[in-house]
Amino acid sequence: MRSKLYIVLLGVGYNRDKLTEYLSSTDISDFWFYNMPYSIFIKTRLTPTQLSGMIQSRFGKHFIFITEVTRNTDGLLNKDQWDLILKYRDYDV
């Protein structure tokens, strides 16, 4: 399966730092970064269902929303943040 870029919106029950430490220690993600509270952009070959299940099984069942970042995207971010999103949205790692 081709890697896709997702934005993961985490409920307040999650500790983003623990999740990013875990992502850095495994091969689950090809790349990740964050720029807003309670969210992480993750490039992975996992489906949203698989990614959600992995997060919930390791870090508890709290509110979570995962969606693919597609070409139909807009928002108010700085240029560096958009550059990362556009690079990893379109780049197959």
Per-residue pLDDT tens over the stretch 36-82: 889 999 999 999 999 999 999 999 999 999 999 887 777 778 888 88
Based on the structure, what is the number of domains in the chain? 1
DSSP count for the chain of H helices, then E strands: 3, 4
Supply the CATH number for residue 20's domain.
3.30.70
The model's confidence at residue 21, banded by pLDDT at 50, 70 and 90, is: very high
Q: What is the domain range of residue 62?
A: 4-90
- Specify the higher pLDDT residue, 1 or 16: 16
> Of 35, 43, 86, whose CA–CA distance to 66 is shortest?
43
Sign of the C-alpha dihedral computed for residues 22, 28, 34 and 39 taken in this order: negative
